[in-house]
Structure 1
Amino acid sequence: MNQRSSLGSEELARQQAQVAVIQTSPETSEDDLIDLKKVWRAVFRYKWGIVGLSILFGLITAMYVSTIEPVYRASATLLLESREANLVGVEDIYSSSYRAYDYYTTQFEILKSRSIAERVVRNLELHKRPEFQPGEKKQSGFSLQSLLPAREQSPPVQLSPAEREKRLIDQLTGYVAGGLVVEQVDYTHMAHLSFNSTSPRLAADIVNAMAEEFIAANLEARVEGTLQATGWLSERLSVLKKNLRDSEQALHDFRQMEGLVHIDGETNLGGNELAGLSQRLEDARRSRIEAQNIKADIQNMPGASTEELMALPAVLKHPLIGGLKRSQSEAERRVAELSMRYGPKHPVMISARSDLQVATEDLRREVRKVISGISLEYEIALRNEQQLQVNWESRKKELQEFNRVEFDLQELERDVETNRQLYDLFFTRIRGVSEGGGFEKPHARIVDRARVPASPHSPNVKRAAVIAAVLGLVLGAAVAAVIELIDYTIKQPDDVQNELGVPLLGTLPLEKTKGESTFPAYWHEPQGRYAEAIRTIRTGVLLSELDEPEKIILVTSTVPGEGKSTLVLNLGAALAQMERILIIGADLRRPSLAQKCGLEPGHLGLSHYVSGTAELEECISELEDSGIWAMPAGVIPPNPLEMISSKKFENALSSLKGQFDRILIDSAPVQAVSDALVLAAYADAVVYVVKAGSTHAGAIKKGIGGLLTVNKSLNGVVLNQFDSRRADQYFANGGYYQYGGYSQEQA
């Protein structure tokens, strides 16, 4: 008992989860990302339609393009020479300096200009060709203007022949300039020129003429620039020549006025003399300072002896004093040596002392002379310094005046030199321009001339047809994807769980009826795939009632025509092999069970029994072919809902449950009326029939959700009329099981 209660609670929880999933709005799936698998499935499903649309687009396009007049394209290759290749750089004078890339881009834009195109028109005389002559426009066929009321028009302007020719040339210039295509080759100085025309000869002539006129126009422009530069240089040269002459005359006059003598380019002769005089003054000042210092030392030693005076460096360094000092020292040494041998009065000693005295006296006398000479040297050095100072100051003033004059002289000389350099520069340039003006090198050359095309460039029928076919494929695939994305029907078994969120009880294949049959019958071909599908559904119903047998099973659908009556008959026949089965046609609004059972249209049935016009036994008939008992709907009553809601109908079900092992009720669709909701309250289980690819998933969810609010026991959904053979082709999930195939193979 506890296990059964536990299973019941689990089933209740499962059914509540189903209600929550089913009652979810179908629009929630629309906000999800596009399912690529679903899109691919749609494309594969409509593949032959897509291919047909592609072929149709290709054929129509090919037929249309074949009627278009062919257009020929002629091409030539042009090479721009480097700017540095010119023999004479006239561009430095009359053109701006652009980067190399800008230069070549500019030249290619000039190539497409109207001025070059007009030169081509005049050179080829296109305005005189018959195909470009204006003619009268023929008015033929229907036109919208013919329906409008006539209005006054101003008379046409009369043009002279010259004006008509000019207007035609302007029109042809636009035609040539607009039709020329210039494609610059990357990382090179080359470009491909091409022109399209219905005349192959004309296309080649225009391309070649454009290249030639482009080169000729550039040469003419450069020659004209050379002539302009020559004229400007000549005018400027005459002005510079006059300026040079005036500056030279001013320099000459200044030298004459100042009395300057120009010797080998040197005019400054006093600078070196002043430098020498400054050096002599410095030497005299140094001598005077030395003499003054010696004199000061002597004056600080009044009454000094000869030995003290000889201690002075100036006296000691005197050359004569040094010699006398050596003589004195020699005499003193001789006296000392003789004193050791002779006595004081010996004549030799007396002679030696006499020599010593003479040497000492000579030394003293010379020291006095040197002392007297030092004072005299100081006086001479002082006077010499003073004289040199006076001379230096005088010469300095003279030199300052001369520097002023020399500054003015140098300024005039600079003017002369500047004017001479400008004159020489312009003179050299004008000679170069004049001599090189006749040697202009073309700035471009034709690498490959255009040839007359042998085959048309357009229209390309094959390419246009292929493009149209591809567009047809894309359009067809897009339409198929849109149809699939907006199609919310249940098309395959996987959609039952994915879209509806309820279990799949089984799938009934689409069968073609034979003979007089109006529906596939289980008992007609027991070993067929349809019968095998019915047995699978039977197994699912039996497995769902392991704990509590389901005596009353309600079979319904969303809308009419989904095959619920057919399922009731076949499922009942399958169950009748094991049980005593009764089927009741409870669709009292559009009954179809009696016809499918082979009963008469007025056969007694449910409406007769509930209304009391017939007994229960009279309303039930046994079907010998299928082995089941059937109670058809009977006549259509005026109040079907009140009839199935009556107490008598409930009592009849209770009585029949005792007579039969199982009762299958064929109910009206849930979307049309509420009869199914009333019948669901009597049923132990509900089987919901969905026709594949027919009913909107939102309506199915709404119908199942309404049933689950009344009866929680939903066995599952049966997908009816599913074309499994086409599904194997349409869907990429790999071959749905073909019912009956296994048993046939075993046979």
Structure 2
Amino acid sequence: MEQTLDLTKYIDMAIRRKWWIIIPFLLTLLGGLTYALRAPKIYEAQTLILVQPQKVPEEYVRSVVSTSVEDRLQTITQQVTSRTNLEKIIRQYNLYSSPGKQMLMDDKVALFRKMITVNVSHRGRRSEASAFSISFRGKDPKVVAAVTNTLASNFITENLRIREAQALGTSSFLADELNSVKKRLREKEEELKRYRIKYMGGLPEQLQTNLSILERLQAQLDQYNENLRDAENRKILLQQQIADALTASESRPDIPTGTARREGQDDLQAMKTQLAMLESRYTENHPDIIRLKTAIAKLEASRSRKAPAAEGDGAESSTPLEAQVDQTLKRQLEETNLEISRLKSEIADLNAQIKLYQKRVEDTPKREQELLSMNRDYENLKELYNSLLSRKLEAEIAVSLEKKQKGEQFRVLDPAKVPSRPIKPDMRKIALITLVLGLGLGGGLAYAVEMMDASYKDPDEVEKELGLPVLLTLPLRYTQRELRRIKIKKILAYSSVSIGFVASVFGILVATKGLDKAIQFFADFINRAGG
């Protein structure tokens, strides 16, 4: 009941102070209307760009662009919104160049950059960017749409340029590295070649050959040493035979023919004995055996020619036979000396060769270690070269992929359209704020005036204030004439306020829109109200 009485009290107060509520409320509405009409209208155009994946499967062609879409978008945004690019767009569309207002280019660029918004949309569990939107705000809806589409085109162009530049840069870097490694590989090959030429015959893979040659040379050296001992033995034997012949000749100067013949036979027998000894040790092709056989044959032939003469002249001296035998032995001694010299020379050569091959065999572990180190470096360079070559080929394919625009691309899904409604000012928000502010201002003024009025409004206030009971209340009584006058005043008051409000609205429309548009606005409003 108390709540009902309180509500009635406030309703009565509002009725008594209605003009304090209505006038501020209408003035607030006029102010809100003025702000809504005079505030600059800001339009926003938006375009949606799809991040289209690579058309060729990555199993066949791997892209060299490894940065994520978000990172690449940040880079592209910085480049697209750079001062140089924004100045081109500002000059192209003559932005922020109102006749009555001059702005510096720095201020235009800063304002232009502030009006651009880029939002990224994600998809999947890994939150990969699948699309992004570009929006721009401005006063002219057509210019706003055109600028938004230009920004989208710049984003697409810049993305293609960045991807192609990155692919070309990667390919160029790999080409430089490949040439460098190729040069080092050739140098290492030349080093290996020079090393193998320098130590040819002493390389690790020639160890078995060297051992075989060393064994063969050692066997040959043993054979030559044995031949040398035999030659020296023959030399001693020949020297002994020559000495014996000289001793016999000096002791018996006049020897009968028969005795000389017997001595010649003894020499022949000695040569045959020596031949038999050599044949037991060597083959028939041995040089000593061949020379000895030749000497025996010559001696036998000489004896056969001289035998008849010896029989006819028994007193003939034996001196020519002894001289022939001496000459034969001396010739054999000379040949034996030559053979000994030759064998010693060949033995010296063999010893030098043996030392050479022994040195090669001894140095084989060292050469093997050096070759192992050089081959390891060569194989590492070769592996690096093959790896770089493979990557270079992949980079060239990736460059071709980007040039043919088969890689990841930005594609306009929804181009920017001319906006039909401004986003600022927000008419709904302005209307709501105006209503709340008008009612609050009017109610506040009415309440303030009511509180300043010290008169009593009902009997309860009298009883509460004076502490005396009210025995009787008499309402105000008006005559018919007074009632008509009061009614006329109310009508005039309401009419005046309504006409004044409408006139104010018309004046505001004329001031902001012009007379023609104001008249058209009222005509449309009347038609809608009448319809």
The reply to whether TM is greater than 0.5 is no
TM-score by length of 1: 0.33
More helix by share: 2
Q: Give the alignment's TM-score, normalised by structure 2.
A: 0.44
